[in-house]
Amino acid sequence: MALLRGVNVGGRNRLAMADLREIIESLGHRQVRTYIQSGNALFTTDEDGPTQDGSALAVKIRDRIAERRGLDVDVMVRDRDDLEAIVAGVPFPGVDPRRLQVAFLSDPPTRGAARALESIEAAPEAVRVDGTVAYLHLPNGVGRSVLAPQVERRLMVRATVRNLATVRTLLAMADSPPD
């Protein structure tokens, strides 16, 4: 699955999901499906499995988007098992899934950078970093958040964010056969 950063937000980086599907299909992937307009694409490939290099695949998708649409967007690639682990690993049980943001990180941050982000006092907000994921509990929403704008700056990595409800929907889509 490919998660694009910053497409169709505030009128910038416009990318129709039909175009995204065509771009991913042009790379040889099958059963391409998208979810909402924010750049979520599920697909199958002959390269699926533990030997699949998500970083290399992300670069291929990013480069093809630049070539075909002239957009420079970050792409994070995760597989179904990654999503399952992310949902199972939520460190804030019982929170509203629309108020829990999952930041998919381009690379694992250093432990010091993760601690620096986690130590920011921003109650009632909270953040936990786990490998290439940061969980942000933002009960007052993203727009007024103290922590959300700090993620990339403090962790020194690129990120794309989805709420837990969207991540759960993507996992359910990954578990269901395409129409």
Write down the pLDDT at residue 5. Answer: 93
pLDDT for res 172: 97
Asked whether residue 110 is assigned to any structural domain, the reply reads yes
Helix axes 164-175, 80-88, angle to 10 degrees: 140
- Residue 50: domain span: 2-77
Indicate whether 73 and 6 sit together in one domain. Answer: yes
SS3 for 69-96, per residue?
HCCCCCEEECCHHHHHHHHHCCCCCCCC
- What six digits make up the tokens of 62? 């990013």
Q: What is the distance between the alpha carbons of residues 124 and 137, in angstroms, rounded to a whole number? A: 8
- Whether residue 39 contacts residue 125, with contact meaning beta carbons closer than 8 Å, is answered with no
**For helices 17-26 and 54-69, angle between their N-to-C axes, nearest 10 degrees:** 120
pLDDT digits (tens, 9 = 90+) for 99-151: 999 999 999 999 999 999 999 999 999 999 999 999 999 999 999 999 999 99
Question: Taking residues 23-30, what's their average pLDDT?
Answer: 95
pLDDT of residue 59 exceeding 60: yes
The pLDDT, as a whole number, for residue 52 is 56
Q: What is the pLDDT of residue 41?
A: 96
Number of domain units in the chain: 2
* Same-domain pairing of 10 and 72: yes
User: Confidence band (pLDDT; 50, 70, 90) for 55?
Assistant: confident
In a domain, 132, yes or no: yes
**Strands 100-105 and 159-163, bridge-based pairing:** antiparallel
pLDDT for position 51: 42
Same domain, 69 and 12: yes
Task: Say whether both 104 and 54 belong to one domain.
Answer: no
User: Once rounded to an integer, what is the mean pLDDT over residues 36-44?
Assistant: 92
Report the candidate in 66, 67, 58 with the shortest Cα–Cα distance to residue 132.
58
78: which residues sit within 8 A by CB, 6+ positions away? 1, 3, 54, 86, 104
Helix (H, G, I), strand (E, B) or coil at 168: helix
Helix (H, G, I), strand (E, B) or coil at 155: helix
Q: Which of 38, 53, 77 is the last residue of a domain?
A: 77
45 Cβ contact list (under 8 Å, min separation 6): 28, 29, 30, 52, 57
**Looking at residue 12, what is its pLDDT?**
75
